[in-house]
Structure 1
Amino acid sequence: MSLYDWLLFLHVTGAFFLIGGVVVAGILNLAAIGPKRRPSEIATLYRLIRFAVPLIGAGMLLTLAIGLWLVHESPWNYGYDDAWVIVALVLWALAGWLGGIDGKYQRRTGKFAERLSAEGDVPTPELYARLRAPRALAVSYGSGLLAFAVLGIMIWKPGA
């Protein structure tokens, strides 16, 4: 196998980590938002999201580092100034930025659910408001959609 083949393998592996982590986190987040759950259940779901975070982080790192190396090593004369590369990098950065904002919000929501769980496991309107906050949901699912948009650009390479 050539260097390019190995780089492509690692890049695709990173994409699987990233998208897999995003999907797992999204499903668990959606499960927490679901029907009236006790704070202990919500806290458990949010703790499970933590297992997706290293996948997302590794995926972000591998896709960026190896992706840039792939552009350099490409036998098809891709360049860092190609529109699809620039758009993918911008969307990648936005996805990471929004994901970071969402991660902090979800951590606080998970800790709030844990505190309610320890205080009698009675749900409150504030907890449900945090889970269903439109801005938080837009940031959360927006970051995931941006990750999928980057995947689409990587597959189809518009303009290349």
Structure 2
Amino acid sequence: MKKLYALLVILIILYIGINVGANNLPFGDSTALNTTDNANAGISTGNINFPKIDNFTDNKINDTAVSYRDANYNMTINVSTVDNSQSVADIASGLLSSGRYTSNQTIDQNGVTTYFLYNEGSESYSADIYFSKDNQNFLISGEGISYENSDYFINHCKNVIDAIGSK
């Protein structure tokens, strides 16, 4: 009987090892739990593959934009391409100087410089997030985001930035 248990443990370890080696199990990859960057599971529009987001219903708006909706959090995330005639740094700088936003931050999201522009209210805020990936400028926007759901919104936006890609 001990030999059967030992064989079972060896088979389980072998199974896990093979799946981790083949990237079929999301161990160590937090983005795999929230988004899928597999082109077959994403939303193809024009030359861009927009990712699926768990718990969100996606809606292709046109060849350059997708809208994601999570009814449980009453949250919508819009993702669209932006004209490439300016750098996103220039776009963000111009918008900040307009006085339209109350705060901002710039982060490096896994090698992608990302500009977060916020318009804060007393109970919620709106956000415009600009970044460039694969030689394409993008805008992620959200409105009416409650402060208690801020991390949920920001983390899903970061996952979109990581997973979005060109065909």
Higher relative contact order (CA 8 A, sep 6+): 1
Q: TM-score, normalised by structure 2?
A: 0.21
Higher relative helix content: 1
Structure with greater Cα Rg: 2
Higher relative strand content: 2
